[in-house]
Amino acid sequence: MVQNTFEWRERIFRYAPVILWAGVVLYLATSAGSASETSRFIGPLLDFFFPGMAAENRQIVHFLVRKTAHFTEYGIFAFFAARAFLSSSKDILRRRWFIFALFAALILAVFDEGGQAFRPDRTGALGDVFVDMLGAVTILVITALIHRKYPDHIIFSPTLSPSANDR
């Protein structure tokens, strides 16, 4: 019973960040992440740091900030997925963690953009899926390089493993 409880706790620690971050991504796919909403805080920041910026430059910067957010949010998601799969109790997930994390990011990106296509205040764009996947691949490659050099680093162990005395 104690072992089974511990396994569930490990599974929660492993997959909770993936699920919670997917929730953040999907929340941002709603009206809360629309250009009109993000301009409400990006605009004043641009006014503060760059007073007198031309309207066309302001639109370009706003666009770049939004695309950087896509890249970043999917990079974070891919990292959480990689951590979960690297420490999975399933051998196939541990061995093919890169592919599974990338596939999870792709599924989320397609679902995210597909859902936006049906919202009147959002537009689903294939280009955004590309930016999302670029963020995921970038972080997964960095993760693979770090994992190759430091496979036992704590960032790859999202679970709380008990000592031999606790079992």
Neighbouring C-alpha atoms within 13 Å toward the C-beta of 66 = 24
Res. 31 pLDDT band, cuts 50 70 90 = confident
Q: What is the pTM of this model?
A: 0.86
HEC sequence for the chain = CHHHHHHHHHHHHHHHHHHHHHHHHHHHCCHHHCHHHHHHHHHHHHHHHCCCCCHHHHHHHHHHHHHHHHHHHHHHHHHHHHHHHHCCCCHHHHHCHHHHHHHHHHHHHHHHHHHHCCCCCCCCCHHHHHHHHHHHHHHHHHHHHHHHHCCCCHHHCCCCCCCHHHC
Average pLDDT (87-114) is: 94
Output phi, psi for 123, to 5 deg: -130, 125
Domain ranges of the chain: 2-52+60-162
Q: Which residue has the tokens 């000592």?
A: 163
Average pLDDT, the chain: 87
Answer yes or no: is pLDDT of 159 > 70.
no
Quote the crossing angle between the two packed helices 97-116 and 2-28, to the nearest 10°.
Answer: 40
Res. 167 pLDDT band, cuts 50 70 90 = very low
pLDDT for residue 165: 34
Answer yes or no: is pLDDT of 87 > 90.
no
Average pLDDT (79-105) is: 95
Q: Which residues, 6+ apart, have CB-to-CB distance to 143 below 8 Å?
A: 78, 79, 82
Q: Could you report the per-residue pLDDT of 129-146, keeping only the tens digit for each? A: 999 999 999 999 999 999
pLDDT for residue 27: 92
Res. 19 pLDDT band, cuts 50 70 90 = very high
